[in-house]
Amino acid sequence: MDRARGDSSTRTPPPVASPIPVKIIEGRSAIPQLMQGDLSAILSPLGTAALVLLLVIFMLLKREDLRGRLIRLVGQGRI
């Protein structure tokens, strides 16, 4: 009667799956990745320089207005 129930001593362990070999294949070319890194390193400072230049231009165009605002902010007695 024990054999009908499947006694644990007569069971065979399930087969162990063998590991699947994995191949690592490099991309076709690493040049686009390198160019992306280089371009971002170059464009970031250029963008900052362009923004600073734009602000300087606007400040020079409104020079008298900015001078008057600075004098009012600091106070005429302190200048």
Which pLDDT belongs to residue 46?
A: 94
Q: Does residue 36 contact residue 43 with C-beta atoms inside 8 Å?
A: no
Q: Does residue 66 contact residue 59 with C-beta atoms inside 8 Å?
A: yes
* Structural domain includes residue 8: no
* Tokens linked to 4: 């009908």
- Tell me how many domains the chain contains: 1
* Structural domain includes residue 31: no
Over the stretch 43-56, which tens digit does the pLDDT of each residue have? 999 999 999 999 99
Over the stretch 5-43, which tens digit does the pLDDT of each residue have? 555 567 887 778 888 998 887 766 767 777 888 888 889
Helix %, strand %, coil % for the chain, to 5? 65, 0, 35
Which range marks the domain in which residue 50 is found?
40-74
* Structural domain includes residue 15: no
